[in-house]
Amino acid sequence: MKDKNTVLLIFTGGTISMSEDPTTGALRPIDFYRLQEYLPELKQTGIEIKSIPFSPLMDSSDVQPETWKEIALIIEENFENFDGFVVLHGTDTMAYSASALSFMLKNLSKPVIFTGAQLPIGMMRSDAKENLLTAIEIATAKENGKAIVPEVCIFFEDTLFRGNRTTKKNAEHFNAFNSYNYPPLAKVGVHIKYFNSYIHYPDPSAKLEVNTNINPNIAILKLFPGITQQNVHATLNIPELKAVILESYGAGNAPRLTWLYEELKTAVQNGIIIVNKSQCSTGTVEMGKYETSLNLLNAGVISGYDCTTEALVAKLMHLLGEYHSTEEIKQKMSVSLCGEMTVS
């Protein structure tokens, strides 16, 4: 039996992995040993912490599907040796990466906690210290010998979110993320209060399955007043295109333009999957509720329900990588695979 809880830190990069050069003032990457200098509290946690850094560390704006695969494979390779995993990641694409990992890691029974910072760890007012220490504590939290939060999550400031429900909302404040359509999994103050009824627990008899096949041939088409047929036609006719996220108005509405209906209908008939996503942060798509959504329904557009754009991107890429049947993918888009949406 292990004497200590164990956590694997996966350094991908981002602001949390930077420090300020005292000579030039420029930000530079740090390694785990330098991190321990900034955070002597790591040694006081009583948790055995190991680290695997990306080389080189990367800005999250440079994150690609290959990055998601690398993180997933690191977790798979080390899964039996650690109680939990903390991924240090830049904030700009953190919600995309957390969403992707939630689909790649099927039957996950241990915490995978993404965190980062708005200010580099070496700066006096940095939020990195509290974010990282709390993420580590959550990654090892157990009840009756089982992980309290066996999910892919994002922890930031004082809140733990389900990763595939989360969106970056603020580039300036420390409360950089929100989960608009799903409650938090935990709130952190003097104590960590877990909301167990909102946490997803896996089948205890099922083993971890890691699926890293990805097909990135998707597009996002955002509607706006005055959008032209040329714009829509060009998007729907991108070579190798397999799926489109259509960002519509309100509860899933669109202009009642004959050409728009025909363009969408033709694309669907050509095997392109079109998913309706509301431009609103809160609420769900309800096609058929208003007359302005009937054309989308009749054209064969399917509902994205209350999914975030980040989760839809990850889910479509994942399903397109795993399945070849358009109808099978559409069917799986209509159900929640890992808590990414609410289907009424």
The catalytic site residues sit at: 15
Placement of tokens 């915490």 in the chain: 111
> Rounded to whole angstroms, how far apart are CA atoms 134 and 270?
49
Strand pairing partners for 303? 276
Residues 6+ apart with CB under 8 A from 194: 141, 148, 149, 185, 186
**Tally of CB atoms within 10 A around 132:** 26
CA–centroid distance for 267 within its chain: 28
The tokens describing 234, both together, are: 């060009």
Contact 311, 277 (CB under 8 A): no
> Rounded to whole angstroms, how far apart are CA atoms 78 and 132?
20
User: Which ranges of 226-308 would DSSP assign to H, the alpha helix?
Assistant: 229-236, 258-269, 294-299
> Rounded to whole angstroms, how far apart are CA atoms 226 and 229?
10
Tell me the residue type at 254: A
> Rounded to whole angstroms, how far apart are CA atoms 194 and 188?
9
DSSP code for 279: S
